[in-house]
Chain A
Amino acid sequence: MIHVVSAHNKAEYKSYLRQLWQQRYDVFVEKMGWSLDCADGIERDQFDRPDTVYLLCIDEKDRLKGGMRLLPTTKPHLMSDLFPHLCAEGVPSGDTTWEISRFYSLTGRHMMLERDKTASELICGLYEYALMNRIEKVSCVASMVLFPTILKAGWDVTPLGLPTVTDDEVILAFLIDLNERDYKTVAQNRKITESVLYAPNLREEQWEIAV
């Protein structure tokens, strides 16, 4: 299930967030070799703020399996502060545009593979969260090596500029239009047939009715 962690409920997810910094270190610093400025074993930066939203994939045994970070584009975010040069016509920003970063899954050897349940739940969770919260577009920076796999997912992706060589890697800024039509296609491709968002409120209501 995907748990949405934001300013409202961060306190309840303290231990998961500690795991998130550790897992992000393992994935992005150790495995992918990104040169991120961070304390040993903990990958946490200036964009992990009180108003940052996280989608966490937590399995039935309460284990953290993957995550994604969401930042409002009306405040400083990666593209505005670190990658503005990737955008040919300015960094997209506005209330209905958010930025995703630090997307990872521990269950698949290869990110974004259709049969990786964690990646599938994170992607479908993103659609659900976005459609409920009037987020129409998400911006993102990714390696061109991954880009064909990102496109294959079936969502509407538009590049914001030409691929650019940075630190021996070719990266690209792009915008994903999160509309309902593509959500259906993406979910079908990944064999997701129902909501993946953890909804504690709904459960409490059901519990009350049951009592």
Chain B
Amino acid sequence: MIRGVVALADLQAFQIALDFIEAAKRTQSLERLGQLFQASARKLGFAHYACVSCLEFDALPQDAVFLAHYPDDWTQYYLENKYDRIDRILQISLGTSMPFNWDNDNVIHGRSSDQQRFFDEAEDAGLVYGVTVPIHVVGAYPGAVNVVGEFHQADPSVEHALHLMGVYMHDRAVKLGEEQDTPHLPRQDLSPRELECLKWASAGKTDWEISSLLSIAERTVHAHIENAKRKLGVHTRLQAVVKAFLSSNYYFK
């Protein structure tokens, strides 16, 4: 069965969008907002997302937005290579106010060789097809909300639902950012595995013990925890545990 090509009725797509919107209104944390958005995007056939201000990602001002969940190594690779400088999706997004999918002529045609390589690499990372919702509000940074998955699909009701969700997602992310007044380092959600490793680390387990509990390799446990530290912007395991706890939506029990 091919996931993601099931045509959802308008009503179903609207209900998914509405459920996200109602939950987004109530949530008080950026991490939770990201999880809610990702869960809803998944229901519409897209595994990954990014909600960003269209600015240079290595010099984001305090009031910019950067919330994303992409395959781990991809985000790091993207930032290291400063791909925001050539990202065609961001470029197109800056010039239009309506959503577009990645089979759109503007996305397909006129790629530079760098951009072609970028799309090839993204595809290798499982980022094959997406829908982008540009956000343009007078007096605010331009933004873009992307959802990305492995399968091509073009269901208008899904795209309309994503349009609605994208606008709410960006609006809520900006408002929570203002409320929390936290430094806006590029910020990603912790993956379930990273959370699980942190949870056991907080209970005093060693990498080796965690690896036996989760039936994964010890060096994989180490990598998960290192990733979590990087995402949380801290240097030690303890800091990672505390910060994940204080961000209020991760519970260690």
List residues of A whose CB falls within 8 A of some B CB: 88, 110, 112-115, 144-145, 147-149, 151-152, 154, 156, 158-159, 161-164, 170, 172
Q: Does B89 contact A (CB under 8 A)?
A: no
What is the interface residue range for chain B against chain A?
20 to 34
Asked whether B136 is an interface residue with its Cβ less than 8 Å from the other chain, the reply is yes
Per-residue A-contact encoding for B81-106, CB less than 8 Å = 1, 0 else: 00000000000000001100000000
A159 to chain B, nearest CB (A): 6
Bound CA–CA A155/B185 (angstroms): 28
List 6 contacting pairs A-B, 8 Å CB cutoff, sorted by A: A145-B97, A149-B137, A154-B175, A162-B13, A162-B17, A170-B98
Q: Is there a chain A Cβ closer than 8 Å to B14's Cβ? A: yes
CB nearest neighbor in A for B140 = A152
B139 in complex: contacting residue of A113, A144, A145, A161, CB < 8 Å: A113
Q: Is B168 an interface residue (CB 8 A)?
A: yes
Q: Are B98 and A144 in contact (CB under 8 A)?
A: yes
Whether A148 touches B157, Cβ cut-off 8 Å, given contacts A113-B138, A162-B164, is: no
- From DSSP, what is the main secondary structure of chain B's interface residues? helix
Q: Which residue of A lies closest to B97 (CB)?
A: A145
Closest B residue to A159 by CB, please name it: B164
Closest Cβ of chain B to A125, distance in Å, is 21
Residues of B within 8 A of A (CB): 10-11, 13-14, 17-18, 21-22, 25, 97-98, 135-140, 157, 160-161, 163-164, 167-168, 170-171, 174-175
Considering the chains assembled together, what is the distance between the CA atoms of A162 and B44 in angstroms?
14
Q: Which residues of A contact B135 (CB under 8 A)?
A: 148
List the B side residues contacting A172 at CB < 8 Å: 164
B123 to chain A, nearest CB (A): 29
A164 (CB) vs chain B CBs: closest residue: B160
Given contacts A144-B98, A151-B171, whether A162 and B14 have CB atoms under 8 Å apart is yes
